Structure 1
Amino acid sequence: MAFKQEIHLPDCQYRYAISPKIKKYTLRDTTFFENKIGHYELTRLLEEVPNSNQGFPLKIIVNKELTGFKLTITDQSGLRSVNIFKSEQHKIFQDKFYFLMNSLVERGIFDKFTV
């Protein structure tokens, strides 16, 4: 999957774009770490019950030039994409995703647009 400037996950009510105000130090402050290649990576487990280790891994990678990103939500194995927005059954996962993304929008990493 290539880096994109804008991503809309299926059935999500928002689309997210890389902010022109993004800074490397802001990424580090929000717990992104620099991987071997130089890209910035954030991995979070969207859990229904905190510390249960049962949920869906969310992975965000911002390229080292800060011009594009990847955003995926997968099953526990990390091999298949999961659509947490398809069902009301996953409401708690949706809320946790929106909470995390809103905090990244507030810090100037992403811009959020209503679909």
Structure 2
Amino acid sequence: MERFKSRARRLRESQTSAEAKLWQALRNRQLARWKLRRQHPVDRYVVDFATLDGKLIIEVDGVTHSSSAEIERDKARTEVLEACGFRVLRVSNTDVYENLEGVLELIETSLRFE
């Protein structure tokens, strides 16, 4: 578990610009009442964002997630995370940059049905 915690710390320090932009909108319970964590270990993965009480994981995917190998890897990752009791919401970097309000609305809507 310590290995995952140290990896999460490293990822927090080197987050992508899309993750940083989304984090600024999510941190400090800015999205309704939800407490979100960034680069949080879940099972054998470190997820981009998670709310433990809402049981939702938000993954921000860049262009590298469009190859068939990455799509399969993401599918397997999602299955493991869902087996841990979470719902997984994937958003693209482009959506974060060009439609942040829409992304926030999608997250909030997903949390309403927790």
Coarse TM-score class (shorter-chain normalised): 0.3 to 0.5
Alignment TM-score, normalising by the size of structure 2: 0.33
TM-score (structure 1 length as normaliser): 0.33
Q: Which has the higher contact order (CA 8 A, sep 6+)?
A: 1
